[in-house]
Amino acid sequence: MAKIKITQIKSTIDRHFSQKATMQALGIKKLHHTVEKEATPQILGMVKKVSHLLKIEQA
């Protein structure tokens, strides 16, 4: 599988609980924190749900 780098670029303050929980499930803790994940369908679905808060790059 391909890997993707996910970086939080916007705050989760004043967002719905489900979006905050998705960010936590991705392992993102704070602004400008980057994690590297496998590009599985489950991860891509979570990324799509909060894509307006993230920057996504191919690793």
The confidence score (pLDDT) of residue 46 equals 98
Joined together, the tokens standing for residue 15 give: 């967002």
> For residues 59 and 10, what is the distance between their CA atoms, to the nearest angstrom?
21
pTM to 2 decimal places: 0.91
Place of tokens 């670029």: 9
Tens of pLDDT along the chain (59 residues)? Answer: 899 999 999 999 999 999 999 999 999 999 999 999 999 999 999 999 999 999 999 98
Contacts of residue 45, defined as CB under 8 A and 6 or more positions apart, other chains included, come to none
* Domain locations along the chain: 3-58
The fold of 3-58 is: Ribosomal Protein L30; Chain: A, (3.30.1390)
The confidence score (pLDDT) of residue 18 equals 97
